[in-house]
Amino acid sequence: MQKFTVHKGLVAPMDRENVDTDAIIPKQFLKSIKKTGFGVNAFDEWRYLDQPGQPGVPESARKPNPDFVLNQPRFFFL
């Protein structure tokens, strides 16, 4: 393995300790056997103010949390 020295890319600060996998992708979104397409549901309970999110509800119908780091335009990753 080569030594890691430089990262070139976007990094978003998330000031939280011990983030568990249920926060990253909530269980209600784990219905797919695919390994892609989960990004829109990442950190759902932190990203949106109308909780909890449900599969099939479009992002445009939900109220984003403006204080969550990934909702800020400079860190938008989708």
Rounded CA gap, 35 and 50, in Å? 26
pTM: 0.73
pLDDT-derived band at 2 (thresholds 50, 70, 90) equals confident
Give per-residue pLDDT as tens, 16-33.
899 999 999 998 888 878
pLDDT band at 7 (very low <50, low <70, confident <90, very high): confident
Distance separating alpha carbons of residues 4 and 8, to the nearest angstrom: 11
Terminal C-alpha separation, the chain = 30
